[in-house]
């Protein structure tokens, strides 16, 4: 028989795994941005500073999605607020 606490822990583990899927998007987006940035610098080398600055700002913004997913996963695994309800 599964108790309420075990069910919450199991669902929390599944939820943490699903939250980590959020890491796929930033990885694809940052790879695409880096490729386009290198392509732009190759076409216009004198604008390297501006291109690099813009690319790094975009990568930082894209990475926040993955970090939020990681934080949610860590909360569900280690500081689970739902267990206190039982």
Closest CA to 15 of 86, 81, 63: 81
- Give the residue among 57, 68, 73 at the shortest CA–CA distance from 25: 68
Residues 20-75 pLDDT 10s: 998 888 888 888 888 999 999 999 999 999 999 998 898 888 888 889 999 999 99
Q: How far apart are CA 28 and CA 71, in angstroms?
A: 20
Q: Could you give the C-alpha distances from 49 to 16, 41, 46, 62, 66, in angstroms and in order?
A: 39, 9, 8, 20, 26
Q: Quick check: pTM over 0.75?
A: no
What would the 3-class secondary structure string for 27-70 be? HHHHHHHHHHHHHHHHHCHHHHHHHHHHHHHHHHHHHHHHHHHH
Domain ranges of the chain: 39-86
Instruction: Work out the mean pLDDT of the chain and round it to a whole number.
Output: 88
């Amino acid at each position: 028989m599964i108790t309420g606490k075990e069910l919450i822990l199991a669902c929390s583990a599944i939820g943490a795994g699903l939250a980590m899927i959020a890491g796929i998007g930033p990885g694809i987006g940052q790879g695409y941005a880096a490729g386009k940035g290198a392509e732009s610098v190759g076409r216009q080398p004198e604008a390297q500073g501006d291109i690099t600055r813009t690319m790094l700002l975009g990568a930082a913004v894209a990475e926040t999605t993955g970090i939020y997913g990681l934080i949610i996963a860590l909360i569900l695994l280690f500081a689970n607020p739902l267990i206190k309800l039982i």
